[in-house]
Amino acid sequence: MAKVLEGLYYAESHEYVRVEGEFGFIGITDYAQEQLGNVVYVDMPEVDDAVTAGDDFGAVESVKAASDLVAPVSGTVVEVNTALEDQPELINQDAFANWIIKVKLDDTAELDSLMDATAYAAHCEA
């Protein structure tokens, strides 16, 4: 059974946002990493790139699958998790601890359209 953490915002495409002040940490959920299997590569944007809610900002790759990363919110990338460049398997070990990008949020109102933990858990069950 995949973990779902309280207090995060979730997208239908299985990304989460953890909000700290004006910043959001975006990663893929535990459920998503389970579905993918061994993550072997994470394609990440560059710092200062703009991401737009609903658009791709990268991809996560396992041996036999690849999944686009869809931005749950809009913003500007202020940091990428460089640890994933050499150790993409960190996502399998703990998807919530190993966020992929940190963005400066454009509009916190966008968070309202995302799911909370309860709704997301139900979404995964469906």
Partner 1 sequence: MNRTYYSKLIFELSRPGRTGYSLPPCTMTGHDLNTELPDALKRQTSPRLPEVDEPTVARHYTNMSGNNFGVDNGFYPLGSCTMKYNPKLNDEMAALAAFGRLHPSQPAETAQGALEVYDGLQRMLAEVAGMSAFTLNPYAGAHGELTGLMVIRSYHRKRGDTRRTKIIVPDSAHGTNPASAAVCGLQIVEVKSKPDGTVDVDDLRPLLGDDIAGMMMTNPNTLGIFEREIPEIARLVHECGGLMYYDGANLNPMLGVCRPGDMGFDVMHINLHKTFSTPHGGGGPGAGPVGVRAGLEELLPNPQVVRQADGTLALRESDGALGQISSHLGNFAVLIRAYTYLLTVGRQHLRQVGQLSVLNANYIKESLKAYYELPIGGLCKHEFVFDGLRPEYGGAHSEADHIRTLDVAKRLLDYGFHAPTVYFPLLFHEAMMIEPTESESKETLDAFIDVMKQIAEEAKEQPDTLRTAPHATPVRRLDDVKAVKEPRFTYFDYEQP
Partner 2 sequence: MTFKYLPHTDEDIRAMLDVVGAPSLDALYDEVPDTLKLTKPVSLPDAMSEEEIRRHFEELGRKNQPLVCFAGDGAYDHYSPSVVAALTSRSEFLTSYTPYQAEISQGTLQYIFEFQTMMAGLTGMDLSNASMYDGSTATAEAMMMCVAAAKKRNRVLLASTLPPRIRKVVLTYAGYHGVNVDLIPQRDGTTDREALAAMLATDDVAGVIVGQPNYYGVIEDFTGLADLCHAHKALFVVNGRASALGVLKSPGEWGADIACGDAQSLGLPLNYGGPYIGYLCTTKALVRKMPGRLVGGTTDADGRRAFVLTMQAREQHIRREKATSNICTSQGIMCLYVAIYLSLMGEKGLREVNEHSYAAAHYLHDALLATGRFEPVFDQPFLEEFCLRYKGDAAALHRYCADHGFLAGVLADGIDGGMLFAATERRTKEETDQLVGLIEKFKEGGLK
String marking each residue 61-80 x if it binds partner 2 according to CB under 8 A: xxxxxx-x------------
d(CA 50, CA 30): 25
Based on the shown chain and the rule CB under 8 A, indicate whether residue 83 belongs to the binding site for partner 2.
Answer: no
Based on the shown chain and the rule CB under 8 A, indicate whether residue 98 belongs to the binding site for partner 2.
Answer: no
- Asked if 39 contacts 112 with a C-beta cutoff of 8 angstroms, the reply is no
d(CA 55, CA 97): 23
Exactly one of 35, 38, 74, 92 binds partner 1 (CB under 8 A); which one? 38
119: helix, strand or coil: helix
Based on the shown chain and the rule CB under 8 A, indicate whether residue 1 belongs to the binding site for partner 1.
Answer: no
* Closest to 100 in 3D by CA, of 9, 10, 15: 15
Based on the shown chain and the rule CB under 8 A, indicate whether residue 43 belongs to the binding site for partner 2.
Answer: yes
String marking each residue 62-91 x if it binds partner 1 according to CB under 8 A: -xx---------------------------
* Closest to 75 in 3D by CA, of 109, 43, 112, 107: 107
Tell me the closest approach of the beta carbon of residue 113 to partner 1, in angstroms: 24
Based on the shown chain and the rule CB under 8 A, indicate whether residue 122 belongs to the binding site for partner 1.
Answer: no
